[in-house]
Structure 1
Amino acid sequence: MIFVTLGSQRFQFNRLLKKIDECVADGTISDEVFAQIGVSDYIPQHYIYKSFLDRNEFACTISKCDTVITHGGTGAIIGAVKKRKKVIAVPRLARYGEHVDDHQIQLIRQFDGLNLICPCWDVEDLKAAIQTSKMEQYQEYESNSNIIIESIVQFIENN
């Protein structure tokens, strides 16, 4: 199953939802698709969707999927790679009213540079990104939280 998650911010991402609909309709995507569409007003025709999921619904859905297609939000990407899901990340762009700026491009570059995700720089390249993600192996996410906590503890103990 493919889980599409667009976050809970006030910005639509209709371009991505439409392209996924096209890919399901033309058979590029043959997997079951479920989407959390957020505030987007595009209504998917070829896959199941819900505007928002509660925490339990989200956890259940991500546990069932193999692949996550998402916007370039840090939380969405890290949450999926922590669960060892293949992630295709597409940046929201300001020129389409999808965000206030294009910072998601830089975030996706960082995750791509660590070989954690499959970047999809333009929705028109989604078909290729889907094929690439099926063939590629990505690095497992390693949190540095323990290192940070340990250094804080050492600082406190030494001062």
Structure 2
Amino acid sequence: MLVAVGTDKHPFDRLVDWLEHWYAETANPVALTLQHGHTRASAVPGAVPFLGHAALQEAMSDADLVICHGGPATILEARRHGHLPIVVPRDPERGEHVDNHQQLFARRLGAAGMVALCETREELYHALRAGLSDPSRYLVAADPQAHRAQAAAVARVGAIVEELVARSARRPPRRRVWARLRRGAEETR
């Protein structure tokens, strides 16, 4: 099982706390990689602050289940590896992010059946129980062609989000990252 909170500078204590409590109560041992980012280090075995891109790809490929924050790129990567990700979006009201774009994005994907949306501890625990009893429940067909289209869509969403954040902070948008992602998607068409 892989849990990825991403690399955002805001801590995501809520998800890590939920996982720690669940892990402590789980009767059967679960092989777990918990990428906790800027969140406090977890006592759960397999907790690491960050994974490089190659290590994250390998962990996603090897995982039975992928639990992640609502970051578009992480969701895209999980789906590319054949996972229906279990998504807990960051909540800006709890200091987990600067705005609610993860919540909006994850809710839209949840309504479309593209992620298993979990906004409460109970929803997450239910998804984990269901996934452990039948991991195939959270598998999707990996499609390289869909990946290219999704990468372009993620790049466009990212550029829009960056523009909105820049406007609210009254600073120029940083388009380099999203432009690189969009160019990469266009080059693989």
Conserved in 1, the CA contact under 8 Å of 2:85 and 2:138?
no
Tell me, yes or no, if structure 1 residue 48 matches structure 2 residue 51: no
CA RMSD in angstroms comes to: 2.3
Measure, in 2, the Cα distance between the counterparts of 1:94 and 1:9. Answer: 12
CA contact (8 A) 1:86 1:117 kept: yes
The answer for the alignment partner of 2:149 in structure 1 is 145
Q: Relative contact order (C-alpha < 8 Å, sep 6+): which is higher?
A: 1
Q: Paired residue for 1:108?
A: 106
60, 64, 85: which one pairs with 1:62?
60
**Partner of 2:69 in structure 1?**
71
SS at match of 2:34: strand
Q: Deviations over 1:116-140 (max 9, x none)?
A: 2211012343211213445535654
Normalised to the residue count of structure 1, the TM-score between the two structures is: 0.80
Secondary structure at the counterpart of residue 86 of structure 1: coil
Answer whether contact 1:15 1:123 (CA < 8 A) is retained: no
How many residues align structurally? 145
Residue 32 of structure 1 aligns to a residue in which SS? coil
Q: Name the aligned partner's letter for residue 89 of structure 1.
A: V
Q: Is the strand fraction higher in 1 or 2?
A: 1
With structure 2 as the length reference, what TM-score do the two structures score? 0.68
Contact residue 69 and residue 89 of structure 1 kept, 8 A: yes
Task: Specify which structure has the higher proportion of helix.
Answer: 2
| Identity rate, percent | 24
Aligned partner letter, 1:7: G
In structure 2, runs of 5+ residues without a counterpart are 153-189
Q: Mind listing any 5+ residue stretches in structure 1 that lack a counterpart?
A: 149-159
Task: Give CA deviations for 1:89-117 in whole Å, capped at 9, x if unaligned.
Answer: 00100121101122212111222122122
* TM-aligned CA distance change 1:137 to 1:64, over 3 Å: closer
Corresponding residue number in structure 2 for 1:37: 36
